[in-house]
Chains A and B, each alone.
Chain A
Amino acid sequence: MSAAIERTSSAAAPTGYFRNPWRKPRILQGVTIGYLLWSLLPVVIAVIFSFNAGRSRISWQGFSLRWWTQDPTDSLLRDAAMRSAMAQTYKLAFLTVLVAVPLGTLFAIGIDRWHGRPARTANFTMLLSFVVPEIILGVSLYILFTNLLQGLVPLGTPAQVLGLISFQLSYPVIIVRARLLTIGPEYEEAAMDLGATPSRAIRRVLLPLIAPAILASVALVFADVVDDFVTVAALSAEASSETLAQKIYTASRASPTPEVNAAATMMLITTLLVVAGGLLLYRRFSRGQRDIATTDFMQL
């Protein structure tokens, strides 16, 4: 790809660029750069405008922390509604991780070792819950909770947590399963040859080996719940169970101030921190296996 070759070939063909087999892929490059700008710039602008001094989210009126901390009623920190939305968001994410990740990890280990017909059915159901459009699951759960389980599971936090777990259960299963496939049964067998009972082999050998995948699932599920809107909205009761995503939705249909930008930025910071932290720890846990780390994160 040296300059000399480039020059000679373009000299030989008067039409130049397109005849040159060593041409730089300018068009592809242009489209890619354009795409990246298009995909990220709007978000960057929205973040910047959370620091706007004025009420507008499109015309800059100077830097201030008004919408973050300063304004006594309409800033993210002091607006009671926003604070409860933030608390609700993190509460849901925490509770969902707490149930979905252990449940999914167990499921993945079991499905990896058990090859019967019921296992295939269970696996199919799990995959179905992974691909079904969120609105279908969200509305179905709403109808379940308002009819068959009416009075048993009230809308609001309980319904939201149950729904989110259903929707997120497949993520740890898929991640942990992928990891199990790369590990294979050898280590456990070695442990049991050395006298470990099956349950001990799982605790002492398998669990440390799949720890990175479990960690990745925690990060993924947490970030995904923070960003979730459809399930959370379908199963929320009143203002007290609204999350940040719902606040953005409601506000954007009225007259949004940069406070909404601040709320959105808060979500962004949370998910990025969780994912970056997860990725770092993951790499630490699986030293020398970076490829697996990145592919695990990429596949979702």
Chain B
Amino acid sequence: MPEIAAPAAEAGGSRRRLRRRRESVAQPGRDGGVWYPRWYWPSFVAPGSVWLALLFLLPFYVVFSVAFGTVDFGNFGQPVPYYAPWWWSFETFNETLSKFYEGTAIYRPPLFRTFVYVFSATAICLVIGYTVAYYAARAATKYKGLILIMLVSPLWISYLMRIYAWQGLLEVDGPINFLMQPLGLGDTNWLAGMHVTVILGLVYGYIPFMILPIYASLDRIQESLLEAGRDLGANGRQTFWRVTLPLSRPAILAGIVIVTLPMFGDYYTNDLLGTTKTSMFGNLISEQRTQTGGSTRMASLVLILGVIVLVPMLYYLRETKRAAEQA
């Protein structure tokens, strides 16, 4: 650690040292014969690392301390964090956890819904997303640039604005019901806590994140591979199932992870398009802010959410690492 935080004032002195050392190092090393002082590159990484340690890792530690601490009900339900791990008590945490399975289990429906919503929304994202990415990568010719811009542009539009836009369209006397009239659904109250609305809202919000990695991987597949498949006697469908799809599998998995991670923590989609009948795990967290003892419950819920998303998160990190090593 002290070498990382070595002060920059040393620079002058060690430059001299550097020259001397450079002459004495006969064999060129990994850095092409140039010798850098030990602290040189670490000092580049230090500021960002310290930042992440203080404002990314430390918060998680405090979350543990608060979740495994107690609540001072005499003081407006302020949390009493226990910072020393050997004092951690699991009483309040267990109380929160028990709301998922004990008695009326008021937290269970949102948890259950979250899984169902995330699963269905991801599936829809995958089907539509793959089709669109496939067309953009393979078939489109003259308009490819335009299609790409249109595929990327939702990323630059605020998520809230996009969901807000739908909120207006879905009102009872809104344009969607006007379009639905021929189907006999002209009076549907889409915003009154309908599962379909929230699921499609999630799809709408996150599908660009699914399309882009799949597009990138499909675009990289060499045409010769597909031609080889055809030459070996496969028809179009077989080539797709046995060449294209396997080659895009990593991108599909990456897309699924990128889409599910934020969905698990989403609460604003439901806040804008649904009611308490469609609330998700994220809503459980966000509604604690104003409640007595909310901070402690919020910390416990964040820990639980962290456990839920841990596996996809680590999977994604492993894959990026692998991709970086291959590159």
Contacts and interface: CB of A to CB of B under 8 A. Distances in A.
Contacts of A114: 41-42, 44-45
Interface stretch (B104-112, B244-252, B298-306): B298-306
Contacts of A198: 18, 34, 36, 40
B59 A137 contact: yes
B157 interface: yes
B136 to A, nearest CB: 7
Interface string B142-186: 000001001111111111111011111101011100000000000
B208 A39 contact: yes
A252 to B, nearest CB: 5
Contact of B157 (A21, A135, A144, A268): A268
- Size bracket of the A interface: 35 or more
A122 B41 CA distance: 13
A280 interface: no
Contacts of B197: none
A109 B43 CA distance: 10
A122 B51 CA distance: 11
Nearest to A181: B327
Interface string B31-72: 111101000111111111101110111111011011000000
B121 interface: no
Given A28-B139, A113-B31, A245 B160 contact: yes
Interface size class of B (residues with CB under 8 A): 35 or more
Interface in B4-35: 4, 11, 15, 18, 31-34
Contacts, number: 272
Contacts of A39: 150, 154, 204, 207-208
A280 to B, nearest CB: 14
Q: Main SS of chain B's interface residues?
A: helix
B268 interface: yes
A148 B55 CA distance: 12
A212 interface: no
A134 B262 contact: yes
B295 A143 contact: yes
A166 B286 CA distance: 20
Contact of B161 (A104, A142, A165, A268): A268
Given A107-B49, A110-B42, A128 B313 contact: yes
A166 B4 CA distance: 20
A293 interface: no
B81 A148 contact: yes
A192 B28 CA distance: 14
B119 interface: no
A226 interface: yes
Nearest to A295: B216
Given A139-B285, A275-B156, A106 B131 contact: no
A223 B34 contact: no
Contacts of B316: 131
Contacts of B53: 125
A74 B52 CA distance: 41
A271 B167 contact: no
A46 interface: yes
B317 interface: yes
Report the 10 A-B pairs with minimum CB-CB distance, sorted nearest first. A110-B44, A107-B48, A114-B41, A110-B45, A133-B265, A135-B265, A140-B59, A46-B165, A42-B165, A227-B158
20 contacts: A25-B138, A28-B135, A28-B139, A29-B139, A49-B168, A114-B45, A122-B45, A131-B316, A137-B56, A140-B302, A141-B55, A144-B58, A165-B55, A166-B51, A198-B36, A252-B160, A264-B161, A272-B156, A297-B152, A299-B212
